[in-house]
Chains A and B, each alone.
Chain A
Amino acid sequence: MASVKQITIWARGVIQDKEGRDIANGIAAAADYEGKFTQAFDNYVDLPDRVNVPLRKYARISDEEIEERYEYENANPEIVILTDATIVKGMNVLRGMPKGGTLVVNTDRTPDDILKFVPNKELLKQVVCVDATAICGGHTVDFSGSEGGIDSVGIGAGVAAPILGALVKGTEVVKLESLSKVVQNSEAMLKGYDQAQVKTL
């Protein structure tokens, strides 16, 4: 059980729905290349068809077979990714996080600016900030519906690519080589890897 790494992605409804899903699918597909057991899925409870609503996407990586495959929420995410920085004001994003977790934020601010809005920051080991929107412009808007979260078409065409790069810089859950097999815009991914600011607490 303990070997399962839980990753939760918070995104905004409709405008970043596809991006959040891309991050979850990208992590899972890249870890799959490394021979790990993986899982990526959307939250059942959130209604992603409302613009700007905070919603969750989940990914799990494990060296052994995932026992809790049919638990449909990540209760204790080690890594939390925010595709929009303003979610820190609206949600307790670190809920259930064990001590020593990582927060990855898409923002033009510094990690210290983000930490001002995190009330339970003693749980964090590090904060990674990357300005993904500046690296590759707007978001991939996709209205094809999102339930299931299994679309592997066009992973990482938008802001998901630099965020994935920043995630690798901070945590090394997956390797950069296996990610570049999955992500479409690998140039943006490498830029995200280079430009990410990592603050260790």
Chain B
Amino acid sequence: MPYFKIPKEKEVPLACITPAPVGEQPMMITGNWRIYRPVIDHEKCTLCMNCVMFCPDACWQLNEEEDEVVWNAKYCKGCSICVRECASGALTNEYELNFADGVVRLEKPF
């Protein structure tokens, strides 16, 4: 039982609660930190979702229509955590200059 009865229109959220970000954060693009990128072999992938769970920047997302995980080149820092955690060995590190795509060219670091 609550001690106070606060009318609904006077309720305020706790100070620590802020609105959750929706989508991407364009103020902090970190794709240009990458030296090595994870490359997925969809044949080997068992959709265990380890990469989705472990990626600190949520760069792996499940595409439910295609039934495969998708990589986000714009924010992946190339930390290789997903490569370590991949249970089926579907992910490998490859040097960034081997690819023409994935260019995130900023004018300034910030």
A residues whose Cβ falls under 8 Å from a Cβ of B: 12, 45-46, 50-56, 84-87, 89-92, 95, 107, 109, 113, 116-117, 119
Q: A91, B109: Cβ atoms under 8 Å? A: yes
Residues of B near A52 (CB, < 8 A) are 33-35, 77-78
Report how far A95 CA is from B109 CA in the complex, Å: 12
16 contacts between A and B (CB under 8 A): A52-B77, A53-B109, A54-B109, A56-B109, A85-B97, A89-B102, A89-B104, A90-B31, A90-B34, A90-B103, A90-B106, A91-B109, A92-B105, A95-B107, A116-B100, A117-B97
Q: Considering the complex, give the chain A residue whose CB is closest to the CB of B35.
A: A86
The answer on a CB contact under 8 Å between A55 and B109 is yes
Task: Determine if B96 and A89 form an interchain contact, defined as CB atoms under 8 angstroms apart.
Answer: yes
**Please, how many angstroms separate the alpha-carbon atoms of A90 and B105 in the complex?**
4
Bound: A100/B77 CA distance, A = 33
Q: When the two chains form their complex, are residues A92 and B35 in contact, meaning their CB atoms are under 8 A apart?
A: no
Q: Does B3 contact A (CB under 8 A)?
A: no
Q: A12 → chain B, closest Cβ, in Å?
A: 7
The one of A45, A87, A92, A109 that contacts B110, using a Cβ cutoff of 8 Å: A45
Q: Once bound together, how far apart are the Cα atoms of A109 and B97, in whole Å?
A: 9
Given A89-B102, A109-B97: A12 and B35 interface contact (C-beta under 8 Å): yes
Q: Which A residues are CB-close (under 8 A) to B95?
A: 86
CB proximity of B18 to chain A, nearest CB, Å? 23
Decide if the interface of chain A is mainly helix, strand, loop or mixed: loop
Which residues of chain B have a CB within 8 Å of any CB of chain A? 31-35, 77-78, 95-97, 100, 102-110
Q: Are B105 and A91 in contact (CB under 8 A)?
A: yes
Q: What chain B residues lie within 8 Å of A85 (beta carbons)?
A: 97
Query: Complex: how many Å from CA A83 to CA B35?
Result: 12
Q: B34: which A residues are within 8 A, CB to CB?
A: 52, 86, 90
A91-B110 in contact (CB<8A):
no
Minimum Cβ distance to chain B for residue A118 (Å)? 10
Q: Which of A46, A89, A95 is the one whose CB lies under 8 Å from B32?
A: A89
The smallest C-beta distance from B106 to any residue of chain A, in angstroms, reads: 6
| Cβ-defined contact, A91 with B106, below 8 A | yes
The answer to whether B32 touches A87 (Cβ under 8 A) is yes
Name the residue among A50, A86, A113 with the largest chain B CB count within 10 angstroms: A86
Could you say which of B77, B78, B96, B100 has the most chain A C-beta atoms within 10 Å of its C-beta?
B96
Are the CB atoms of A54 and B33 closer together than 8 Å? yes
Q: Which residues of B are found within 8 Å of A109, using beta-carbon distances? A: 97
- The smallest beta-carbon distance between B60 and chain A, in angstroms, is 19
CB atoms of A53 and B33 under 8 A apart? yes
Known contacts A45-B110, A86-B97: A54-B32 contact under CB 8 Å: yes
Complex contact A91–B32 (CB within 8 A): yes
Question: Which chain B residue has the least Cβ–Cβ distance from A119?
Answer: B105
Query: Considering the complex of A and B, which 4 residue pairs feature the smallest CB-CB distances, nearest first?
Result: A90-B32, A52-B33, A86-B96, A89-B103
Given A52-B34, A53-B33, A107-B97, A117-B103 contact (CB < 8 Å): yes
